Amino acid sequence: MAHSDLFAQRTKAMKASEIRELLKLLDQPDIISFAGGIPDPAHFPRDAFAKAMSLALDETSAGTSLQYAASEGYGPLRTWIADYMQTLGVTCDIDNIIITAGSQQALDYLGKLYLDKDDTALVEWPTYLGALGAFNAYEPRFDRLNAGENRTPDEIQNAARAAGGCVKFSYLSPDFANPTGKTLSRTERLAVLAQADALDCAVIEDGAYQALRYAGDDVPSLLALEFAQKGTLEACRTIYCGSFSKTLAPGLRVGWVVAAKPVIAQMVLLKQAADLQTATINQIAVNHVARSVFASHVETLRGVYGARLAAMLAALDKHMPDGVTWTKPQGGMFVWVTLPKSVDGRDLLEKALDARVAFVPGSAFYADGATTNTIRLNFSMSDEAKIDLGIARLAEVMRKAFLQ
Amino acid sequence: MAHSDLFAQRTKAMKASEIRELLKLLDQPDIISFAGGIPDPAHFPRDAFAKAMSLALDETSAGTSLQYAASEGYGPLRTWIADYMQTLGVTCDIDNIIITAGSQQALDYLGKLYLDKDDTALVEWPTYLGALGAFNAYEPRFDRLNAGENRTPDEIQNAARAAGGCVKFSYLSPDFANPTGKTLSRTERLAVLAQADALDCAVIEDGAYQALRYAGDDVPSLLALEFAQKGTLEACRTIYCGSFSKTLAPGLRVGWVVAAKPVIAQMVLLKQAADLQTATINQIAVNHVARSVFASHVETLRGVYGARLAAMLAALDKHMPDGVTWTKPQGGMFVWVTLPKSVDGRDLLEKALDARVAFVPGSAFYADGATTNTIRLNFSMSDEAKIDLGIARLAEVMRKAFLQ
């Protein structure tokens, strides 16, 4: 039998993540890789997790930790998250929170919750590759958020209707976005909210990197700004996706969503049908670790990653040839580099691998794949000396490539 | 804003699981509950999990356990599963296996993989409620598997085409099914496979309870039977879903799927887009526990649950009034009771709760909800004395109800 003859239409839009396929090739120790987007395992809070798992599996707790649990998530962890959201300026209670298997799963469930075939999702250009992947399963149309081309909300909505659906949500990562490292100003955030009000659509705020600021001042999250405008979470259209993957550890797959109760209630039903619940023991362990070391551990990470970001920006300044520009992030894990128009990041990668340095070509981060002269550099996995050496190698590759 | 105005059409078919909502009400200690479907936490392999987590978080392993990992799953665990499948008569390698967050997630991903809107899924009548919930997200039509009404494959396929799609798969749990406890004979299994060949559809085999046999002889799984017919897994249309939830512990959410490589490769893409991967540390811990205690622990469970099943069947014999019949399972966690036609299981539950005994009314397990005179009894969570007392209470409730 030809198995693929039976597959649903949606599978035609789903292809392997270039990044994850690429990462499989990068186990060679002499390559300096700026290709990943993962935390440095040398800085996981191992002791805290070992203690937490030991507590979760002691005689009084193991029966709960190893058993099924409620689809909405572990109450004490949701309480910790409610307190954490309060520090971000959002007042909520645990019925405004669902625990997901990382924030990637939140994106899948939000696609499932909102998108009928041919509905429109507004996304940044470029945007998080994993969001495009998650939403693609529901066969949407992507349109450009904040196109800078002065389209009115009516024009955007009319284009969505002409495609057979309507605008269901904007998706964006306002802090230290993957892949660009950019942060939206307060004014830009208020414009996103005003546009969503005009379109009457939801806003999905990806807060995965929000806690990882190394310089500059915090800007309130979209949800905090909307909460301040409207006075109650129930009136807010913003849906905030949080994650412990970048602050504590990704291997437990624990994230969360904060939104108005009708949204959370429907997500609970989706989750019940899709995987019943996030692993009980992981939620209990994360609750222990968050309560014991979250603030101090994030402070440690800010020091470690902040130094690496500074090293990368200094190395780019020092080594890069003319015609190359890059973002100046204040947090997160990525710097976004724009090459001369004639240079394709994918071609450059081939040459870079020969020179034992790696990165991710930028085209995959565009919903239309059309822009090819960009690359993403990750700085979280390399120490400062390696960063300088790797950027020097990359600059040398560029000089040769530009001459061709 | 009215949040639900923006929700996708699929959400209209998704409602709360009666079982999970009901379970929330059953925390009162004086209720004898046959309503759950969960393992007895007194018999989790706690020591093995505590040791496994300790190993997973030691200095050499923690960096891996807490980090991102491949979407297809942890290699050593997939190797263990390949060896386990060999004991069931299926030769496969690790590229035939993907790890999922429990077998519930496998059902969601298989719905996503196969079902376009209005495609047909053939299911048993009654069937696992969670399968109906998982598939419902993809807006299928359900038709009856093995209707016993002698429809030809052409008639079944023509009905599917008239509904706007085609038959994409049969879904069934051939061993000690939830909710009926029934096991298909070898002849019945061969008929399911022959029907799938004639329909040219996939077969999803839910093996969640297969290891929990307390009496009688093993019947080869559908996948093993098809493998024996066709000689290679690549020619098989059966997709086997396995789970550690019933044999080791559900709270880690680790299950697996075995199928031909093109099916697994596409599921890996779906998983990458939907939640990246099953929690790394959980897979590493389950690998340790499976390798150290799987066989001996399953043997222990067979003793414990087998005695409870025997106690329930004896109590039903002893207490039930005339007009009530029930299945005689040889494994699993459930006995399925048929009431007189005039008695609705939901009405009976109200009265039973007053008498401090609980169960799940059967109607939710039918795709059309039309059959109301059945109930599901779980025997895994109560000791033998409680089972006798609970069945006696239930019989008393029935006697009164039947007189009305």
Give a yes or no: residue B371 inside a domain: yes
Q: Which of B253, B254, B286 to mutate to test the interface with A (most CBs of A within 10 A)?
A: B253
A29 and A135 in a single domain? The answer is no
Sign of torsion, CA B258 B264 B269 B270? negative
CB-CB contact of B40 with B386 (8 Å): no
Residue at which a domain ends, from A265, A292, A319: A292
CA angle B320–B321–B327, rounded 5-degree value:
50
Rg (CA), chain A: 21
Whole-angstrom Cα distance, residue A34 to residue B219? Answer: 53
CA atoms within 13 Å, Cβ hemisphere of A213: 13
Bridge pairing between strands A202-206 and A255-258: unpaired
A265 and A315 in a single domain? The answer is no
Give a yes or no: residue B54 inside a domain: no
Query: Cβ separation of A276 and B108 shorter than 8 Å?
Result: no
DSSP bridge partners of B97: B258
Select the residue of B7, B133, B263 nearest A273 (Cβ to Cβ): B133
Fill in the amino acid letter for B385.
A
Closest CA of chain B from A284, distance in Å: 11
pLDDT digits (tens, 9 = 90+) for B321-342: 999 999 999 999 999 999 999 9
Cα separations in angstroms, B234 against A3, A149, B76: 9, 51, 22
What CATH number does the domain containing B372 carry? 3.90.1150.10
- Concatenated DSSP letters of B208-277: TTTT-B-SS-----HHHHHHHHHSSGGG--EEEEEESTTTT-GGG--EEEE--HHHHHHHHHHHHHHTSS
Helix-helix angle B280-319:B46-56, to 10 degrees:
170
Give a yes or no: residue B285 inside a domain: yes
Select the residue of A54, A66, A202 nearest B251 (Cβ to Cβ): A66
Give a yes or no: residue B59 inside a domain: no
A87 and A146 in a single domain? The answer is yes
CA atoms within 13 Å, Cβ hemisphere of A284: 24
pLDDT digits (tens, 9 = 90+) for A190-207: 999 999 999 999 999 999
Which residue matches tokens 């200095």? B59
Write out the residue range of the structural domain in which residue B125 sits.
67-293
> What residue spans of A185-323 are helical by DSSP H?
186-199, 222-230, 261-274, 280-319
Select the residue of A44, A58, A71 nearest B63 (Cβ to Cβ): A44
Query: Cβ separation of B269 and A11 shorter than 8 Å?
Result: yes
Give a yes or no: residue B50 inside a domain: no
Burial class (CB in 10 A: 0-12, 13-18, 19+), A162: exposed
Fill in the amino acid letter for B384.
E
The number of residues making up chain A comes to 404
A7 and A97 in a single domain? The answer is no
- Concatenated DSSP letters of A247-262: TT-GGG--EEEE--HH
Sign of torsion, CA B96 B99 B100 B104? positive
Residue A90: closest CA among A290, A228, A235, A243 = A228
Amino acid B26: pLDDT: 67
Closest CA of chain B from A203, distance in Å: 11
What CATH number does the domain containing B172 carry? 3.40.640.10
Query: Cβ separation of A119 and B273 shorter than 8 Å?
Result: no
Query: Cβ separation of B11 and A274 shorter than 8 Å?
Result: no
Residue at which a domain ends, from A292, A319, A352: A292
A330 and A224 in a single domain? The answer is no
pLDDT lower than 50: segments of chain A: none
Q: Structural domain tally of chain A?
A: 2
Q: Which of B4, B5, B7, B110 to mutate to test the interface with A (most CBs of A within 10 A)?
A: B7
A203, two tokens: 């806003």
Give a yes or no: residue B118 inside a domain: yes
Fill in the amino acid letter for A264.
I
B36 and B76 in a single domain? The answer is no
Select the residue of A8, A202, A281 nearest B116 (Cβ to Cβ): A8
B157 and B17 in a single domain? The answer is no
- Collect all residues with Cβ–Cβ distance below 8 Å to B385 and sequence separation of at least 6: none
CB contacts under 8 A, A 199-238 vs B, are 200-202, 235, 237
Give the single-character DSSP code of A167. Answer: E
Amino acid B27: pLDDT: 66
CB contacts under 8 A, B 44-63 vs A, are 44, 46, 49-50, 53-54, 57-59, 62-63
Residue A394: closest CA among A364, A363, A334, A350 = A350
B289 and B301 in a single domain? The answer is no
Give a yes or no: residue B61 inside a domain: no
- Collect all residues with Cβ–Cβ distance below 8 Å to A286 and sequence separation of at least 6: A52, A77, A244, A248, A252, A254
- B228: number of Cβ within 10 Å: 11
B159 and B247 in a single domain? The answer is yes
Query: Cβ separation of B41 and A66 shorter than 8 Å?
Result: yes
- Concatenated DSSP letters of A73-135: --HHHHHHHHHHHHHTT----GGGEEEESHHHHHHHHHHHHH--TT-EEEE-SS--HHHHHHH
Which residue matches tokens 């999250």? A221
Amino acid A22: pLDDT: 66
A159 touches chain B (CB under 8 A): no
Amino acid B23: pLDDT: 61
Sign of torsion, CA B398 B400 B401 B403? positive
A303 and A272 in a single domain? The answer is no
Give a yes or no: residue B341 inside a domain: yes
Amino acid B150: pLDDT: 79
Neighboring chain A residues of B270 at a CB cutoff of 8 Å: 11, 14, 137
Give the single-character DSSP code of A213. Answer: B
A311 and A174 in a single domain? The answer is no
Whole-angstrom Cα distance, residue A390 to residue B163? Answer: 59
Whole-angstrom Cα distance, residue A170 to residue A192? Answer: 8
CA atoms within 13 Å, Cβ hemisphere of A106: 28
Residue at which a domain ends, from A292, A323, A338: A292
How many Cβ pairs closer than 8 A exist between chain A and B? Answer: 260
Whole-angstrom Cα distance, residue B157 to residue B165? Answer: 9
Q: Is A324 helix (H, G, I), strand (E, B) or coil?
A: coil
B71 and B96 in a single domain? The answer is yes
**Mean per-residue pLDDT over chain A, rounded:** 95
pLDDT digits (tens, 9 = 90+) for A371-398: 999 999 999 999 999 999 999 999 999 9
pLDDT lower than 50: segments of chain B: none
